[in-house]
Structures are given as C-alpha cells and as structure tokens.
Chains A and B, each alone.
Chain A
Amino acid sequence: MGLIDKLDNKVSKTIGSLALLLVMVLLPLRVDNYVQNVLWNAMFYMLLALGLNVIVGYCGLCDLGYAAKFAIGAYTTGVLMKSFSWNFWLTLPVSMLISAITAAIVGGATLKLRSDYLAIVTLGFAEIVRISVRNMSITGSASGLIAISRPSLFGIRLTRITHWYYVFLVLVLMFIFITYRIRHSRFGRALTYIREDEDAAQAMGINTTKYKLYAYIIGAVLGGITGSFYAVKMTNISPTSFDFTQSANILLAVILGGMGKIPGVIVGAAFFAIFPELFRDIPIIGEMRMLFFGILLIVVMITRPQGLWPERKQRM
C-alpha cells in the first residue's frame, strides 16, 4: 500500500468517525425517549465492554465476573449516597479506590499462579459480591437500594433521559480515549506481548505478573466508574442486575466483537444491547438467545480465534 493510499485510508476513517459522532450528538433532537433509552443502554454496555477489553482483549486474561466490578461501583455510590448522604461526584473516587483494592486482592491472589485460575476465581468472587449485597441490610438486601438521588452537573439536575444520553456519550468518548492511549503506550504494547507470548515477554524483561495485575486493576476501575454512573442513572439497583448472565453478555461482546480492537468491541456491545430489543416480541428467540450465542462462541473459537473483527497485526 502506497503512502497516499494509507493517508487516504486514515482520512476517510477520521471522516467516518466524526460523521458517526455528529449523528450520535444530534440524534436526541429527532428520536423519542424509548430510542434514546435503548441507545443509552447500548452505550452503557460499550463502557463495560471497553473496560473488560483491557483485561480480556489487551492482556488475554479471562474474567468471568465483570458484573461484580460494576456492582461494586454501583453499590459503593448507592450506599454512600443513601446512608451517608454524600454528593455523587465525591463517591466516584471512593468507588474507584474500592474497585482497585478488591481487584488487587483477587488478582494478586491468582495472577501469580496460572492465569486461567483467574477465570474461575472471578466467577466465585462475583458470587461472593452478589450474595453479600443480597444479605446485608446496608445494601438493601434482596430488594436492593431504591430512590438514589440524581446528581447535578453544571447546575443542571440530571433527570431526563437526554441528559443521561449525553453524559454516557461523553463517558464513552473518554473511555475510548483512555483505552486507546493505554493500547498505544509502552504498557499497552507489553500487554499485547504477554497475550501473544508470555514466555518471550518475560524473557524480554517484562514483569508479567505485575503487568497482568495492573491490567486487571485498570479494567476493574473502569467497571467501577461505570457502575457508579449506572446507580445514579437507574436510581434503583438490585442484586439481580449483577448476575452471571450480565458478566457473560459483556464477555461475549468483547470476544465476538474482536478481542482488543476498540471499534470491534463497541460494535459487539451495541449488538448485545440492541439485539434483545429487536426480538423482544418473539419469545422463542429470547429464550434461545444464549443457546445460539454458545454455539456461535464455539464456532468462532474454532474457525476464527481472534474474534469476528480482529485487530490487524502491526508490522514491525
């Protein structure tokens, strides 16, 4: 490919992304609340998928309990606001901190061993979180926390769906920026190296345990932030929002979308959020959905192990 072509490709990609962004910005002027809510939900999944992508896509670790990460964020914010009447924006750093600490404990215990232990430990940890919030009175037991108050931003109280649409749009852009920067930093390249060949990475002097742990913590913190915003958008949170199906959906979005590739992950997340809406009225497909995804997962892994829309290998 010549230089002109390459430049051309880059220009058209930039124009395409900007056009898409413009459409996303202007869309709320034209569509009703229902569509905005569906799109909000899609952006919510994008945030989760972008966060999980750091763990699964960049570093090649398997996390089966990502729902627990955003549950921790959501409940931290919820409890601080309900029981201690904190301002929402002050709860954010706390929820990031708690996410990081729990991730350091879980990851620290497992990542120095075989990294595939992480898969099942995250699954167990997700159950611990879910059962704990269901049984503690401070987290509202089985019914969860209700009537969490809405925060304000620039003097506007964020109550309407259009507000949240824009808040999440900004968050998605921020997450894309952050994860893109991580991907193209020295740290991100080290993660790719670990994913592709852990032995060789170690031989090149990369402290693989430390880097894997950092990737895991970053993913957890991003999940925690998403959870905090989720809590104030929904105002009601309950343990059922954080079960295994949720974790599986996010993981599927990342894997099928193309592990590691940001546009792929975004498309995957949008698909998983919008697909059930499209087929909501056809009950049999709703029931068979996960069965279908299971088969898809096996077929994709056997035929295209890099995901449906993989990252192109960088040439050295």
Chain B
Amino acid sequence: MFSIWELILQQLVNGLILGSFYALVALGYSMVYGIIKLLNFAHGDIYMTGAFVCLSVFAALGNIVSGWTGIILSILVAMLISGILGYIVQRVAYRPLLGAPRLSLLITAIGVSLVIYNTVMVMTNSQPMFFTSGLDNAAGIRIGSILITYIQLVLLAMSGVFMLALNFFIGRTMAGKAMRAIALDQDTSRLMGINVNRVIGMTFVLGSSLAAVAGGMACVYYGNVQYNMGYTIGIKAFTSAVIGGIGSIPGAMLGGILLGLLEAMGTQFLGSQWKDVFAFGLLILILIFRPNGLLGKTEIERM
C-alpha cells in the first residue's frame, strides 16, 4: 500500500507537471499585463487552440513520424499557428483600443474569448477529441510503489527548456530589453526609437506560442482536448501570475509551479471536487494579504 510519504511524493510530481502548465500560460498573461496593462481573457482560449492544432497536426503526420519526434513537431506547428493567432487578435481587436479606457479593452478581450471559444465549440460539435500518442504510459522510474513516467519527465524538461529560453530572450537580447523598457514607460520608449507597436505584437506572439506549448503538453498528458479546457486554466494562470507578482517573468514561473503543487496537495487532502475552490480561494487570500505577489514590486496604480 501507499505510505503517506509516497502519496506526497506522487502528488509532488503531479503538482510539478500541473504547475509547469500553469507557469507556461501565466507567462503570456504576465507579459501582456506588464506591457499594456490588459488582462488578456482570450489567453486561455489560445492555449486551447494550441492544443487542438497540436492534436490535429499529430494525427495528420500519422505514419510519417510518430512518438516524441511527432509530438515535438506538432508542438512547434501549434506554437507557430497560435503565435499568428495571438498576433491577429492583438492587431485587430486590441491595437485600436490601446488609448481607450481600460474597461473597453477588457470587454474587448472578453469578446475575443467568446469568439475563439464558440468557433472551436461549433467546429468540434462540443465533443472532446482524443490524442493517442502511442507512447508507453507505464514506462518510468519506480520509487517504492510510485511511478514517475518518462512522459512526465520529458514534459517537465520541455517546459523547463522553454522557460529558460524565454528568460534568456527577455534578459539578454535587444528585443527583450525593448519589452522591459516598454513595460516601464511606453512614451519614453517611443522617444528612444523603439517601435512600440511591433514590440507589443511580438509580446503577443511569444505569449501565445508558450500557451501553445502548454496546450500541446496537455494533449500528451491528459490524452483528450475539449473546447472548454481554456476557461479554468485562464483563471488559474492569472492566479499564478498574481501569486508570483504580475508583470514579473520569474514570478509567473514560480507562481505557476507553486499553484500546481498547492493544488495537487489540496486534491490529495481535500478531494478533487474542491481543487478549483482551493485555487481561487487562494487567489482572494493572496490579494488580501500580499497583493504584490512574492516577487512583485510595490506599485501604485497608474492610470
């Protein structure tokens, strides 16, 4: 039988995986919020679109390539398409409203979310689609009576690679520096010769393709994809971003992993039907007691 420590270890692994999904989605949320102060409601739906693209591409590749090569190829295609989608959304719906009151921008984001959500719902007839990776679900490392599968390990490594790459991009390249500059002061950045619109577009592309990575990973991990999968993860990604300190890149990663771990433990000890209540309750508590998050800077509301 499982001992309590083995259960905790098992939930630790589950929590890490869940947390890396949240972290990848939270990064896009946090970057967009940092740069144009928009809560991008459509972000969860872009994650969902990414998952569907990944699933379709993998099915289409079929006999040509399979296994991990196929999965990685599919995820790359999903990143590309989600990135384009994110750019289009930004260009069509958000850019005309960048100078408008924030409420208009927020409502537009809800509109975009409704459009993507319902388009996919109609296209898939509200039915879930299944992903058969052909990978061995039982292969892995045994520790006592628990099993850490190779799939879990590869997914963890994959999300780690993408997060490190993003960190490098933001911290070490000129484009990343431009993004940080705009987050600090948009007008001054424009005076310094930064093409603000292009950088905002790039932020959406980056954020959306990271969401697609999470979507592709979710395909492999859960084995099914549904049109409403983006709804709760959107709120949870926001929760992660707030836990870590919204606008902060390492904060989003930390917040995501932490939320995943807490949720896994909450599931273990409270029962799975309460896991969302646990996560959203945590959000309200954090906003009351530590509104700037763990790594966020104290900031006065700018208008």
Contacts and interface: CB of A to CB of B under 8 A. Distances in A.
B284 A301 contact: no
A290 interface: yes
B101 A305 contact: yes
A117 B246 CA distance: 11
Interface string A86-108: 00000000000000000001101
Contacts of A199: 303
Contacts of A164: none
B107 A301 contact: yes
Contacts of B110: 64, 248, 251, 294, 297
Size band of the interface chain B makes with A = 35 or more
Nearest to A244: B231
A109 B284 CA distance: 7
Given A291-B114, A298-B115, A301-B111, A110 B97 contact: no
Interface string B19-38: 00000000000000000010
Interface stretch (B148-156, B173-181, B248-256, B273-281): B273-281
Interface residues of A, number: 45
Interface in A94-138: 105-106, 108-110, 113-117, 119-121, 123-125, 127-128, 131-132, 134-135
A297 B111 contact: yes
Per DSSP, chain A at the interface is helix
A46 interface: no
Given A125-B284, A248-B114, 5 more contacts: A106-B284, A119-B106, A124-B239, A127-B276, A297-B108
Interface of B: 37, 39, 41, 92-93, 96-97, 100-108, 110-115, 117-119, 121-122, 231-232, 235, 238-239, 242, 273-274, 276-277, 279-281, 283-284, 287-288, 291, 301, 303
Interface of A: 60-62, 64, 105-106, 108-110, 113-117, 119-121, 123-125, 127-128, 131-132, 134-135, 198-199, 244, 248, 251, 255, 287-288, 290-291, 293-298, 301-302, 305
